[in-house]
Amino acid sequence: LRIAMLSVHSSPMGELGTKDTGGMSVYVRELARELGNRGHRVDIYTRLNGSRHKQIAQINDKVRLIHLRAGKNGQMNKLDLYGHLDDFFRELEKFRTRESLHYDLVHSHYWLSGRVGKWAQESWTIPHVFMFHTVGAVKNSTVGSEKEPELRTVTEKHLARSCDRILVATDKERDHLIQHYGASPQMIGVVPCGVNLDLFSPRDKAKARQELGFAQDESIVLFVGRFAPLKGIDRLMEAMCHLQHHQRLRLIIVGGDGRDAPEFQTLQKLARNFGIQEGVTFVGRIEQDNLPAYYSAANVLVVPSYYESFGLVALEALASGTPVVATKVGAMESILKAGTTGHVVSNGSPLLLAKGIEKFISGSNGLSAHELRASVLRFSWSNVASAMIDQYAAVLRQWDFPTCCCGTVSMG
Ligand code: UDP
């Protein structure tokens, strides 16, 4: 297959853990790489944002990352970028014509790319596969989330009804799209996200701590992710407040845009207000290749989010042999087995989070690191790519012979 993949606002090779770069970038990069390994040709188009980039970066033999200019070269907020999407598509057309490229399908990620995907679908007469990653209408009904503009929800609703197939990572997201945007259930395929099982694997906890300079006699609670309000770091801090009777307990926070960023200042202030600042360490964003040591060093990873479309960090922790305590978001209920691989807190209250964390900081939870890892082996990127190829095949069949076909792909 020749696939045009669109990830306009966030580069798959961007700095993970910063404002607009997280799970979606990992998803695009890993999926494309795996499709390339199987002989499919993938061109990923993203907006030029920085001076260090060559126009074309080769990710592997068959996968290219192509930077196109849209508006200024530099940080741009998403709403401003919306006004430059037509420039992006014009540049894409110029590039495609110059290189005489023809694609079998366009696969777009997030609503901004979805809009460009729609133009590609119309002018190239090929199917458009769309992934929301997060859903504006759901964010708007979530406490603690920044409100999304009507432009986004209106665009998403239109995309839900005009693309050829919607792919989601969980049944929950499928239900949201039916409920909020009137998406047709037959149009939606469910393909869970994946984890790099070669990178994330169990390591010796003591060695990992030594390597990172962490104390051997502390219990470590880990958070990994962007510093967005919906990540719920505030309620994790409040939960830590409830655990102050535990001696030698530390919260390690990975991610963020650096010490000058307002989000960092806010969290630091919050830690002070809760009186837990001595037990909190901010380590900044960490290159993904260096993250496995953090997961191995921790007693437990916490995903305290108000909203998550999937929650890749939970898979990464489990693949590294570390249990997870999470709120009831994204794929947590299907990934975590209560009381063994983790704990899902029903209403997300800081007190319940604290009780969940407590189960895993006071000694062993009974499962070995290898048993924890075994619980997520089915989420390899290879399985994700196989499921995705089935979805592509279905949409291409449907394009040629429009009949009804739906798809929930099992990765069991
Ligand atoms: N991540 C990283 N370094 C950091 C923080 C995060 O590499 O400092 C990666 C992490 O490994 C994960 C992704 O960013 O793959 C976050 O994905 P997740 O689905 O948990 O959250 P999202 O960003 O999609 O909200």
Residue 364 is predicted with a pLDDT of 63
Atom of ligand 1 nearest to the CA of 305: 25
Distance between Cα 364 and ligand 1 center (Å): 26
Mutate to test the pocket of ligand 1, among 9, 15, 16, 135 (most ligand atoms within 8 A of CB): 16
Residue with CA closest to ligand 1 atom 23: 22
Expressed in angstroms and rounded, the spacing between residue 11 Cα and the centre of ligand 1 is: 13
Statement: residue 75 has pLDDT above 90: no
| CA 377 / ligand 1 centre spacing (Å) | 19
Pocket of ligand 1 (CB under 6 A): 16-17, 22-24, 26, 224-226, 254-255, 285-286, 288, 291, 310-313, 316
Burial of 410 (0-12, 13-18, 19+ CB in 10 A): exposed
Q: Does residue 363 register a pLDDT over 70?
A: no
Amino acid 247: pLDDT:
87
Average pLDDT of the residues in 145-171: 95
As a whole number of angstroms, the distance between CA 171 and CA 192 comes to 9
Residue with tokens 């790489």: 33
Atom 17 (ligand 1): residue with closest C-alpha?
23
pLDDT of residue 408: 46
C-alpha 329 – ligand 1 centre gap (Å): 15
Nearest partner of 58 among 79, 42, 78, 40, judged by Cα: 42
Encoded amino acid at 190, one letter: V
Residues 253-273 have a mean pLDDT of 96
Q: What is the pLDDT of residue 404?
A: 45
DSSP codes, 246-293: SSSEEEEEE-SS-TTSHHHHHHHHHHHHTT-GGGEEEEE---GGGHHH
Cα 282 to ligand 1 centre (Å) = 16
15-24 average pLDDT score: 90
Query: pTM of the prediction?
Result: 0.95
User: How far does the centroid of ligand 1 lie from the alpha carbon of residue 100, in Å?
Assistant: 36
pLDDT at 302 over 70: yes
Residue 20's pLDDT band, with cuts at 50, 70 and 90, is confident
User: What tens digit of pLDDT does each residue of 219-238 get?
Assistant: 999 999 999 999 999 999 99
Q: What are the angstrom distances between the C-alpha of 19 and each of 27, 75, 251, 257, 269? A: 16, 11, 21, 7, 19
Q: Which long-range contacts (CB under 8 A, 24 or more apart) does 71-77 make?
A: 71/47, 73/48, 73/49, 74/49, 74/50, 75/49, 76/47, 76/49
